[in-house]
Structure 1
Amino acid sequence: MEKICNWSQNGHQNMAQYHDNEWGFAVLDETKTFESMILEIMQAGLSWQTILNKRPAFRQAFSNYTIEKIAQYNDYDVKQLISNKEIIRNKRKIEAIISNAQLLSLLHVEEAFSLNAYLWSFFDDKPLIMNYHTQADMQGFTSISSTISRELKKQGFKFLGPTIVQSWLEALGIINSHLTACPVKQQCENFFSKNYTL
């Protein structure tokens, strides 16, 4: 049985810090949820190490992840982002992020919709605890991530396939996919119980 999530043990400090202090810790904040969505979309087809290395640049490029500001981006802003060598210059990803911000900003106003609350609602507002003993046991996507991906697509959200959604839910702590023997797994459970359980 592996005792720690070995994807975090690549010798890079920011990867270990992300695993130990963020990944799997429950998030209930809308802006942080959207930030995580941006990072997960940008990560598609790339390494997570690449995303963490560029994380400060993403924050600056995307207006500190302020949803309403991103929703106002126009063609000029898209061109600026595509020319920004500090981030991932993928037009399809960039346009999907802006489109998602526009949709979410509209839903905030018209329906008092919370993307974070929406995601948690699929799990009765408590984390789903997975029991993975080795990295090989982990799944790229699950039936629930496929369902959520399909429902998000119906809402109009883009570039959120089952694999991206699975990774996103894990990052937000909605699904706790730390290996069973990983000490951070229990820390995530304790964090949720202390901060969010009524």
Structure 2
Amino acid sequence: MQRCDWAGEDPIYVAYHDTEWGVPEYDSRALWEKLILDGFQAGLSWITILKKRDNFRAAFAGFDPNVVAGWGEAEVARLLGDPGIIRHRGKIEATITNARAWQGIEAAGGFDQFLWDRVGGKPIQNAWANRGEVPTSTALSEQISKDLKRAGFRFCGPTIVYAFMEAVGMVNDHVTTCHRHAEVARLG
């Protein structure tokens, strides 16, 4: 079975690639979680985040943005002492800020709609022959990044946003030789 080369041989990566990456996600809370995790990944490898994902979920109240939005310095201090997550003050504080921004977008029509409207409600179907062809950002990820920042989000630059778009299936960037390319395309 052929898959995208980035998945390698690590069972965690392979499972993520084969069951999650690129599958269209329409749940507002789950979309927020994935954007937050992509922000924490900045400067690190994605496998680091995957291995700590359950710890992140426990530390951040199941990624319930309505809970996280009410947090302050006591929770920041607690999280900075948690060895199970990435202990980066800026990213932790941004998560709280982003929860509040999420609430505003959610109340105004839904975080899911906010994102999916930018791709016409369905995934962009790319047809890359190899990973070297896949961009790290696009004009669309730059625009979404600007829109998120205008709404109050942090740690959501164009590269983070593009990786997020790939992860949540807003774009299908499985290479055409990967067994998941056609499967994910059908989900769109």
TM-score range, shorter chain: over 0.9
Distance in 2 between residues matched to 1:107 and 1:132, nearest whole Å:
33
1:23 and 2:7 are equivalent in the alignment: no
What residue is the counterpart of 2:114 in the other structure? 118
Structure 2 stretches lacking a partner, 5+ long: none
Is the CA contact (8 Å cut-off) linking 2:22 and 2:184 kept in structure 1? yes
What residue is the counterpart of 2:56 in the other structure? 58
CA deviation string 1:108-153 (max 9, x = no partner): 34x2x31121111011111101121111111111111011111111
Q: Which moved more, 1:78-87 or 1:99-108?
A: 99-108
Distance in 1 between residues matched to 2:175 and 2:158, nearest whole Å:
21
Counterpart among 93, 97, 117 of residue 91 in structure 2: 93
Distance in 1 between residues matched to 2:152 and 2:129, nearest whole Å:
36
Q: CA deviation at 1:106?
A: 3.5
Distance in 1 between residues matched to 2:79 and 2:50, nearest whole Å:
18
> Following superposition, which runs of at least 4 residues in structure 1 exceed 2 angstroms of deviation?
106-109
Q: CA deviation at 1:107?
A: 3.7
Is the CA contact (8 Å cut-off) linking 2:80 and 2:88 kept in structure 1? yes
1:161 and 2:157 are equivalent in the alignment: yes
Distance in 2 between residues matched to 1:97 and 1:185, nearest whole Å:
32
What residue is the counterpart of 1:195 in the other structure? none
Give the root-mean-square deviation of aligned CA atoms.
Answer: 1.1
Structure 1 stretches lacking a partner, 5+ long: 193-198
What residue is the counterpart of 2:171 in the other structure? 175
- Superposition pairs for residues 2-151 of structure 1, below 5 Å? 3-9=2-8, 11-109=9-107, 111=108, 113-151=109-147
TM-score by length of 2: 0.96
Aligned positions, number? 187
**Residue type at the aligned position of 1:115:** F
Q: CA deviation at 1:189?
A: 1.6
Distance in 2 between residues matched to 1:155 and 1:56, nearest whole Å:
28
Distance in 1 between residues matched to 2:138 and 2:119, nearest whole Å:
13
Q: CA deviation at 1:4?
A: 2.4
**Residue type at the aligned position of 1:82:** L
Distance in 2 between residues matched to 1:97 and 1:58, nearest whole Å:
11
